[in-house]
Homo-oligomer: A and B are copies of this chain.
């Protein structure tokens, strides 16, 4: 069968190991301290915006927890070689991509909930929207997982394609349906909706691209290169889509608090 870069590639050069290692540590730091910052800052926003901030903090905390596990797992899967410059050989402990999917399974619906809450549509409209978005996001994650943990090109492509269907549906709902509701919104909210919508597409689009790296094949993408790029893609996208996004929501909540209760 056509082989993609294996999930558990047999060896990582010292430099590649260090790059991924430092990125995971960066992700832990960003996510953990954004979470703590948001919890401590909770009182800075008006009562009606606190739940948005607390959910953002929770999303970052969940992700920090999973990056902590991923970090330790990475150290166990690729222990140091004979010398500092030796490659790190894969041990008997697999590098468990399941942590990412467990993380996304919990955080993606919360991010959608968060976004819809910030849009401040009516209660009924919000419910209807989430009723479409949350099952679609769960399906997207669930269909992506079997493709992620296979070492072969064809099933990776098939599951990835299946996962892309609910993903495109998500984008459709966020673009087409929301654009309709956009007309009924006040001026400031319009801008926020557009900005967050674009951020979602721009950042969330990184995930399917990173997913494809190991498939590209060749000496680079089919080996360590594909692995490193995928980890870097997922990690940087996670930092931006959770921590930076959470800080943006906090800023919106703070500005609105100031406007409404000066």
Asked if A96 is at the interface of the complex by the 8 Å CB criterion, the answer is: yes
**Distance, CA A82 to CA B90, complexed state (A):** 12
**Distance, CA A41 to CA B42, complexed state (A):** 10
Q: Is the interface of A mostly helix, strand, loop or mixed?
A: helix
CB distance from A84 to the nearest CB of B (A): 4
**Distance, CA A26 to CA B105, complexed state (A):** 9
- Which residues of chain B have C-beta atoms less than 8 A from A216's C-beta? none
Asked if A98 is at the interface of the complex by the 8 Å CB criterion, the answer is: yes
Instruction: Please state if A102 and B29 are interface contacts (CB–CB under 8 Å).
Output: yes
Asked if A80 is at the interface of the complex by the 8 Å CB criterion, the answer is: yes
Q: A54-B37, A57-B40 are in contact. Are A29 and B84 (CB under 8 A)?
A: no
A43: nearest chain-B partner, CB-CB: B50
Q: A92-B82, A93-B80 are in contact. Are A98 and B18 (CB under 8 A)?
A: yes
Q: Mark contacts of A86-116 with chain B using CB atoms, 8 A cut-off: 1 yes-contact digit, 0 otherwise.
A: 1000101110101100110110000000000
Instruction: Please state if A65 and B14 are interface contacts (CB–CB under 8 Å).
Output: no
The answer, among B47, B51, B62, B80, for a CB contact under 8 Å with A33, is: B62
A75: nearest chain-B partner, CB-CB: B93
A47: nearest chain-B partner, CB-CB: B44
Instruction: Please state if A92 and B102 are interface contacts (CB–CB under 8 Å).
Output: no
Asked if A39 is at the interface of the complex by the 8 Å CB criterion, the answer is: yes
- Which residues of chain B have C-beta atoms less than 8 A from A69's C-beta? 25
Instruction: Please state if B41 and A40 are interface contacts (CB–CB under 8 Å).
Output: no
**Distance, CA A13 to CA B62, complexed state (A):** 28
Q: A18-B94, A22-B102 are in contact. Are A61 and B36 (CB under 8 A)?
A: yes
Instruction: Please state if B86 and A92 are interface contacts (CB–CB under 8 Å).
Output: yes
Asked if A231 is at the interface of the complex by the 8 Å CB criterion, the answer is: no
CB distance from A114 to the nearest CB of B (A): 13
CB distance from A127 to the nearest CB of B (A): 13
Q: A40-B54, A51-B44 are in contact. Are A29 and B106 (CB under 8 A)?
A: yes
- Which residues of chain B have C-beta atoms less than 8 A from A30's C-beta? 106
**Distance, CA A103 to CA B33, complexed state (A):** 12
Instruction: Please state if B92 and A84 are interface contacts (CB–CB under 8 Å).
Output: yes
Q: A92-B80, A92-B81, A94-B84 are in contact. Are A54 and B29 (CB under 8 A)?
A: no
**Distance, CA A66 to CA B30, complexed state (A):** 12
CB proximity to B under 8 Å, residues A54-84? 54-55, 57-58, 61-62, 65-66, 69, 80-84
CB distance from A122 to the nearest CB of B (A): 15
Instruction: Please state if B50 and A44 are interface contacts (CB–CB under 8 Å).
Output: yes
